Chains A and B, each alone.
Chain A
Amino acid sequence: DTGVSQNPRHKITKRGQNVTFRCDPISEHNRLYWYRQTLGQGPEFLTYFQNEAQLEKSRLLSDRFSAERPKGSFSTLEIQRTEQGDSAMYLCASSLEPISSYEQYFGPGTRLTVT
C-alpha cells in the first residue's frame, strides 16, 4: 500500500465548467476526509465519510459541491459551475478509526486552477 492517492494532480478549467476529483484512501481505512487549502492558509475542512456514509459537511461546501463514497472505498468530489474562487488545493485524507488514534494520512492533493 502506497498511501492516499489523488487524481488528477493538477486541473485547469474554465469558469463555469464542471470538474471531478478522485481520492483513493489507504486500504481498509474507514474514514475519508476532504479539505481545501488556499495559498498561504491552512487546510479547511469540507466533508468526511465513515465508510459510505457522509457524516458532516462544512458550510464551505456550497450546493455546487458534491462528494460521494459509493462503496466505502474511493471518493469523488465534484464541483459544478466552477468559479475563480474555487481555485485551491483539494486535499484528501483517510484514517482507521478508532485504531489510528485519530491520525489522518494525507494525499498529495489536486491543485485546481479556474481561469
Chain B
Amino acid sequence: AQTVTQSQPEMSVQEAETVTLSCTYDTSESDYYLFWYKQPPSRQMILVIRQEAYKQQNATENRFSVNFQKAAKSFSLKISDSQLGDAAMYFCAYRDDKIIFGKGTRLHILP
C-alpha cells in the first residue's frame, strides 16, 4: 500500500527567509502524481503545487518549488521569501485514484 511520511510535525521560519518541508513516500507504481496542499487555520485545503512522476523537471509555482527525487521517493517543498500568509498546515500527498495524505507539517512564520 502507498504511504506518505512527513517527519516534521512543526517548523518555523523568519519572514522573508526560505524553508524546506520534507516528504517521503512509498509506492510500487512508476507513474503517479504528487502534491503539496496547504490548509490555513479554519480554512479549506488548497493545492500549492503538483508534480507528475514521469516528469524529471521539478515543478515550480512562483515562490513554491519542489525537489522531486524519484529513486529516493522524496518530494520536498521549498518556500522562498516566506510571507505571513504562508502560515498553515502543509500536507504532502500521493495520488492514485484517491489521495493519500501525510500527517502534515504546521508551518509558523515569525515576523
Contact = CB atoms under 8 A, between A and B. Distances in A.
Contact of B101 (A40, A44, A48, A105): A44
Which residue among B50, B91, B101, B102 has the maximum number of chain A CB atoms within 10 Å of its CB? B101
Contact of A55 (B45, B97, B102): B97
Interface in B65-111: 91, 93, 95, 97-104
B47 interface: yes
Contacts, number: 50
Contacts of B93: 42
How extensive is the interface on chain A, given as a class? 20 to 34
A109 B101 contact: no
Contact of B97 (A42, A56, A101): A56
How extensive is the interface on chain B, given as a class? 20 to 34
Interface of B: 4, 33, 35, 37, 43-47, 50, 52, 91, 93, 95, 97-104
A4 B43 CA distance: 13
Contact of B45 (A40, A44, A48, A106): A106
Which residue among A42, A44, A56 has the maximum number of chain B CB atoms within 10 Å of its CB? A42
B46 A101 contact: no
Contacts of B95: 102
A102 B33 CA distance: 8
Given A106-B45, A107-B44, A109-B44, A45 B33 contact: no
